[in-house]
Copies of this chain bind each other. A is one copy, B any other.
Amino acid sequence: MLIHSFNPPVRTLMGPGPSDVPPRVLEALSRPTIGHLDPAFITMMDELKELLQYAFQTENALTMPISAPGSAGMETCFVNLVEPGDKVIVCQNGVFGGRMKENVERCGGIAVLVEDAWGEAIDAGKLEDALKAHADTRIVAMVHAETSTGAQSNVATLVKLAHKHDCLTIVDTVTSLGGTPVKVDEWEIDAIYSGSQKCLSCTPGLSPVSFNERALDKVRNRKTRVQSWFMDLNLVMGYWGEGAKRAYHHTAPINALYSLHEALLILMEEGLDAAWKRHHKNHLALRAGLEAMGLTFIVKEADRLPQLNAVSIPDGVDDAAVRSRLLKEYNLEIGAGLGALAGKVWRIGLMGHSSRAENILLCIGALESVLGNMGAEIKLGVALPAMQKVLGKS
C-alpha cells in the first residue's frame, strides 16, 4: 500500500457526534506542544477547570477532562463509585443505559435495571418503585440525553428521588452538555460525565467529568482499591485536584486540551442561555422541514432533545443508500440508528457548531433531493419554506 498524508474530505457533520468543529478549535489544536508539567500548561489547566465549571454550572473542585473519550468518562464514574457488592439501579431507555449496566457488573456491582421504552424519557414512578423494592441500593445511574434515541429525561427530579433514598447519582450528559440545560449544583448531581465532541464541538477524545464532595467521600473511603489504575481518581486528583502538586500521573493529551479550552471559551463567549436558545430554535426549524416532508419523530414532543433528532425511516427506503448518497453527493453526514433502532431511524444532530441555519438548509434540501430521487413517499417542495418560516422568526 502506498501511503500519503491523509487529507480528509470536508464534511458537514449532522450525526450523533462528532459535530462540526469550528476553525478556532482546529487552529488551537495545532498550536505548539509544550510539556504537561510546564508552568504555562498548569495555568491553562486552571482556566480549563474554570471553563468546565461554567459549562457544568458547578463549583465542584474536582471538575476536569478525562484524557480519553466519553466511554472512559463513564467508566471513571463507575470504577470509582461502585465497589464489589454495591447495588446500582440503572435507568435504561436506550443503548447507553445498557453500557452503564455493563460497567456496574464489571465493577462487581449488582445492577438493577429500570427499563423504559427506547425513545421515551425515564419514568420517575418506576424509579421510585425500584428504590422502594431495593432499599439497599447505593447508587442510581441515568442518562440525561440518550444519544441512541434523542430522548431527554428529567434529571433534577430523578436525582432528588435517588437522594431521598440515600443513593448517590451518576449522570451521563455526553449529548446534553452545552445543548440543553445541565445544572450540576442546582440539581445536586454527584458524579457526571460528558464528551467533547457533541454540543461542545471540540474534537473527540476527551470526557469532562465532575464530582461533588459526597461522591469523593465515597471514593476516599472505599474498602477496595479502584480496579483501574488509569482512572483511579485518588491518583488523578494529584494532577488535576484542588491545590494539587500537579504530580505526574499520566502524560496529558496536551494539544487536545488546548482545543477543549478554546471550545469552552467559545461556549462562554456565547453564554449558556444563548446556546440553549439557539439549539432550541434550530431544532424547531429542522423539525418544521422534516415534518413538512412527512417524516415523523420517534420521541414525543415534550421529551425531544433539540440537538439530536431521531426520525423514522420511511417504509421501503434503503437506509444505507440514503446516507451514502448524502455523503457522496452533499458531503453531509447524518447518523444511522444504533442497537435496537438500527435500520429504523436516522439521527440528525444539531450539536454545538453544527446547530446553524446553513446546516439545516443543507440537510433539509439534500434529504428532500435524495429521497425524492429515490422515489420515497415524501411531500416535495414544502420542507424548505416550512423550515425558513421558523428560521425567519426572531
The count of chain A contact residues (Cβ–Cβ below 8 Å) is 83
Stretch at the interface among A24-32, A133-141, A151-159, A382-390: A24-32
A229 to B68, CA, bound (A): 13
Contact B262 A5 (CB under 8 A): yes
Taking CB as reference atom, which chain B residue is nearest A24? B5
Contact A33 B203 (CB under 8 A): yes
24 contacts between A and B (CB under 8 A): A1-B46, A4-B265, A5-B265, A8-B33, A10-B32, A11-B32, A13-B34, A18-B35, A18-B251, A26-B32, A27-B30, A33-B203, A67-B69, A68-B69, A69-B252, A71-B230, A71-B251, A72-B250, A75-B228, A204-B253, A204-B255, A253-B256, A255-B256, A256-B256
A369 interface hit (Cβ, 8 Å): no
* Chain B residue contacts of A4, Cβ below 8 A: 265
Contact B72 A258 (CB under 8 A): no
Contact B258 A195 (CB under 8 A): no
Given contacts A31-B7, A34-B9, contact A229 B44 (CB under 8 A): no
* Chain B residue contacts of A36, Cβ below 8 A: 18, 204
Given contacts A69-B250, A205-B205, contact A226 B35 (CB under 8 A): no
A217 interface hit (Cβ, 8 Å): no
Stretch at the interface among A98-106, A115-123, A311-319, A356-364: A98-106
A273 to B21, CA, bound (A): 38
Contact A6 B253 (CB under 8 A): no
Contact B203 A18 (CB under 8 A): no
Contact partner of A3 (CB less than 8 A), chosen from B7, B18, B37, B268, is: B268
Given contacts A11-B35, A252-B204, A262-B6, contact A230 B68 (CB under 8 A): yes
* Chain B residue contacts of A20, Cβ below 8 A: 33
A230 to B207, CA, bound (A): 13
* Chain B residue contacts of A225, Cβ below 8 A: 105-106
Known: A18-B36, A69-B252. 15 other contacts (CB 8 A): A4-B265, A6-B262, A8-B40, A11-B35, A13-B35, A18-B35, A26-B255, A35-B333, A38-B327, A68-B230, A72-B72, A203-B254, A203-B255, A227-B228, A253-B256
Contact A205 B3 (CB under 8 A): no
Q: Is the interface of A mostly helix, strand, loop or mixed?
A: loop
**Shortest distance between the CB of A234 and any CB in chain B (Å):** 12
Contact A228 B106 (CB under 8 A): yes
A17 interface hit (Cβ, 8 Å): yes
A368 interface hit (Cβ, 8 Å): no
A185 interface hit (Cβ, 8 Å): no
* Chain B residue contacts of A203, Cβ below 8 A: 33, 253-256
Q: Which parts of A204-250 form the interface with B (CB within 8 Å)?
A: 204-205, 225-230, 248-250
A235 to B6, CA, bound (A): 26
